[in-house]
Amino acid sequence: MAELAGKVAVVTGGSRGFGREMVLAYAARGADVVIASRKLEGCEALAAEVTDRFGVRALPIGCNVSDWDQCDTLVERVYAELGRVDILVNNAGLSPLYPSLEEVTEALWDKVRAVNLKGPFRLSAAIGARMIADSGGSILNISSIASLRPDAISLPYAAAKAGLNALTEGFAQAYGPLVRVNAIICGPFDTDISLAWPEEIRTLVEDQIALRRVGQPAEVVGAALYLTSDASTYTTGALLRVDGGTR
């Protein structure tokens, strides 16, 4: 399959979980990929796998998206080495556990907001502007059902992801018609965040899902391909729930 041949896709948080699955999906369809994450070693390992399996270019970059300057460095390097970006996936995220809401520290609050909101803003602004100059592109934000169904155990994360939803609709208006901006509202998935759940939390979560299970990272790929390909040319500012029917 080569429907994305000649395209360049940038995926933050790209070495594991959702990011890894999307990187593999884009590469399998002919796109060159940029794999960005805090830990360069994981990016390099996946880049080698991608090049070996699919024969496309794969650029690994160590980047902490919570740092404004590192976001700018990422953008400059991608354009210097690959010349363009057609797809940006703001996937990097985190949701640390905390004992209670009153014990949430300023450092935790700032870290969660920076990774889940500040980084996507800066990358969308910088890359989206260049996409307009290059005649278009697609930005995909990976949000969470917590942004719509907030609870006490992940409130800083929920607030940041609600902000990401707002960025999705705002950038769609600001950068249209040439750049489309959409978001996937992910339900509970087996990613790094879920590894920290106690067993009783997992049981409670699954009882609130119509499909009675958490999702697997590969199950986000279909929605990601739809929202970042020509299959969705009249879709922008959309918040698509992929959550197993979470209530």
At 72, list the tokens. Answer: 């700018």
Considering its fold, how many domains does the chain have in total? 1
Q: How far apart are CA 172 and CA 178, in angstroms?
A: 9
The pLDDT tens digits for 94-145 are 999 899 999 999 999 999 999 999 999 999 999 999 999 999 999 999 999 9
pLDDT band for position 45 (cuts 50, 70, 90): very high
Q: Across residues 213-232, what is the average pLDDT?
A: 96
Q: Is residue 209 part of a domain?
A: yes
Q: Is 236 helix (H, G, I), strand (E, B) or coil?
A: coil
Q: Is 64 helix (H, G, I), strand (E, B) or coil?
A: coil
Q: Across residues 79-86, what is the average pLDDT?
A: 98
CATH number at residue 26: 3.40.50.720
Q: What share of the chain is helix, strand, coil (3-state, %, to 5)?
A: 50, 20, 30
The pLDDT tens digits for 135-189 are 999 999 999 999 999 999 899 999 999 999 999 999 999 999 999 999 999 999 9
**pLDDT above 80: residue 19:** yes
pLDDT attached to residue 75: 98
- Known catalytic membership, residue 143: yes
Whole-model pTM: value is: 0.95
The pLDDT tens digits for 20-29 are 999 999 999 9
Q: Is residue 2 part of a domain?
A: no
Q: Is residue 108 part of a domain?
A: yes
Q: Is residue 25 part of a domain?
A: yes
- Known catalytic membership, residue 154: no
pLDDT attached to residue 149: 94
Enclosing H/E stretch for 139: strand 137-144
Strand partners, 182: 140
Per the prediction, the chain carries an average pLDDT of 95
Q: Which of 154, 161, 175, 229 is catalytic?
A: 161
Task: Measure the CA angle with vertex 25, ends 130 and 38; round to 5°.
Answer: 65
Q: How far apart are CA 83 and CA 101, in angstroms?
A: 45
The domain containing residue 134 runs over which residues?
Answer: 8-242
**pLDDT above 70: residue 77:** yes
- Where do we find the tokens 């390992």? 45
Q: How far apart are CA 155 and CA 60, in angstroms?
A: 32
DSSP string across 166-180: HHHHHHHHHHTTTEE
pLDDT band for position 1 (cuts 50, 70, 90): low
**pLDDT above 90: residue 86:** yes
Q: Which of 15, 66, 143, 147 is catalytic?
A: 143
Q: Is residue 3 part of a domain?
A: no
Q: Is residue 1 part of a domain?
A: no
pLDDT attached to residue 197: 67
Q: Which of 144, 157, 175, 229 is catalytic?
A: 157
pLDDT attached to residue 201: 76
**Cα end-to-end span (Å), the chain:** 36
Q: Is residue 247 part of a domain?
A: no
Q: Is residue 192 part of a domain?
A: yes
Nearest Cα to 193, choosing from 103, 247, 122, 116? 116
pLDDT attached to residue 206: 86
